[in-house]
Amino acid sequence: MKRTSLALLLASTSVISSTAISEERVYDLPANCEYGQVESFDPDTGALSNAIDSGAKVWSEGLIGASLVSWTGFIAAVWNIVESYDYLRVEVPKFVVQGESFRAKGNLFDTFANVNFHNSELGYVGTDKSSIEGNAYKTMSFPETYGVGLVWVNRASGMCSAESVWVQKRPVASNGSMSQSSGKVYGSIDYAVDQYSRAVVDSKKNVVVTLYIQSDFYGTVSSTSVSKTASSGRVSLNILPHQGGGLYNVWMSVRDGTYTDSLDLGTVLIRDSDPIKPCPTCNIN
């Protein structure tokens, strides 16, 4: 994990209008907060300010009153984040789904110590006491942020750790079709993955589309997959039934590097097909 100073973090602050969000949100980001660039595709110190600003625009325009003052203070505080040598580390899923809950972890040396949890949309979300293993946990979400968000934990002593997360929408598989011919099962789907999913932002990951068949009699499953670099498209795959003739349940899925969406294509009867041998010289009874 790359740990670096964020002394030159914010190039600009959010422009926030006066439309109403009634609840008051508290953005208490300590001045000495360590930011971890966990992955190479995470925003670095020069890009993080714009990334958080962009991810927050969908909701931050509704802040007024105390929330607006707190948000402005939060933005200013990020300027002062520097590398810390005290041990407190936040651990979060790298990719989370917009509006869905996830669990953040505060990892520290001390046991039974209070750890405060925050994110860049909701501000303070709660406090948990560290366990005998030195871990504290809190469930949170980004209801409206879309793009990059920030999660941080801190203690009363001033120790603080922050990490960015990618807030995305789930992948979608749709418009499925299925057929069989010459002893093979054919399946097709349209797929789409989000612009902030791992398959898009991480150059080492691709979209994976998979065709599955399950023998209705034996319950066994076989599959075939293809890797795609495009974030959307239509994929057609085919597979030989592994148990020979019989009924097979058929479905396809798309995976964006973190999340999967599956689509049931129905059941097909294969009337005449030899089982796939586990090895060239094996006999199948």
pLDDT at 242: 85
Domain positions in the chain are 2-168, 172-270
Per-residue pLDDT of the chain (285 residues), as tens digits, is: 444 333 323 333 333 333 345 567 777 777 678 876 667 888 776 667 677 777 776 666 666 666 666 666 665 565 455 443 347 899 999 999 999 999 999 998 888 999 999 999 999 999 999 999 999 999 999 999 999 999 999 998 888 999 999 999 999 999 999 999 888 999 999 999 999 999 999 999 999 999 999 999 999 999 999 999 999 999 999 999 988 889 999 999 999 999 999 999 999 998 865 555 555 455 544
Contacts of 248 (CB under 8 A, 6+ apart): 185, 213, 214, 215, 216, 241, 267, 268, 269, 270
For residue 51, give the nearest of 178, 160, 201 by alpha carbon: 201
pLDDT at 243: 82
Strand partners, 254: 209, 261
CATH 2.60.40.10 fits 2-168, yes or no: yes
pLDDT at 273: 56
Alpha-carbon gap, residue 109 to 130, rounded angstroms: 9
For residue 92, give the nearest of 49, 53, 36 by alpha carbon: 36
- Domain 172-270 adopts which CATH fold? Immunoglobulin-like (2.60.40)
Alpha-carbon gap, residue 31 to 200, rounded angstroms: 33
The answer to whether domain 2-168 and domain 172-270 are alike in fold is yes
pLDDT at 128: 97
pLDDT at 55: 77
Alpha-carbon gap, residue 37 to 178, rounded angstroms: 44
